[in-house]
């Protein structure tokens, strides 16, 4: 069983930065396909960024490309989401997700691809 615990959310001004962390237990992050999703009030859950298992090739939604970077630290068994140039539209609950399979690239943006989820961490971008 894989458990995921997010941390690092908070209140930040527009243009600021935050780094979210996802601590994994039960399996190594290198053996998991991992992703970050977010959900704002009244909106559907949205794929933000992900990493494939193994080599860790990364993917990001067009809305965050150039601003957000997903990464992992195999030694610490952690995944991260570095968020720069934050905008009020980025306000949401951010959740870490993992799949024990080897999803194809086209399935990475879909929540149904992932078997395990963290509890989420709130990110609020406001002045």
Please report the pLDDT score of residue 55 as a whole number.
82
Please report the pLDDT score of residue 102 as a whole number.
84
**How do residues 38-96 score in pLDDT, each as one tens digit?**
999 999 999 999 999 988 888 999 999 999 999 999 999 999 999 999 999 999 999 99
Tokens of 59: 């993917």
d(CA 53, CA 39): 24
Helices (H) and strands (E) in the chain, counts: 0, 11
């Amino acid at each position: 069983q894989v458990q995921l615990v997010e941390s690092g959310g908070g209140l930040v001004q527009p243009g600021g930065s935050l780094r979210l962390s996802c601590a994994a237990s039960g399996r190594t992050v290198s053996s998991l396909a991992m992703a970050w999703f977010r959900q704002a009030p009244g909106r559907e859950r949205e794929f933000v960024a992900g990493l494939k298992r193994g080599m860790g090739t990364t993917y990001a939604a067009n809305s965050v490309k150039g601003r957000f970077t997903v990464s992992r630290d195999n030694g610490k068994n952690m995944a991260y989401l570095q968020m720069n140039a934050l905008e009020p539209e980025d306000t949401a609950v951010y959740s870490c997700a993992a799949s024990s399979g080897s999803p194809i690239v086209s399935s990475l943006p879909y929540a149904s691809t992932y078997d395990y989820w963290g509890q989420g961490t709130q990110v609020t971008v406001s002045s």
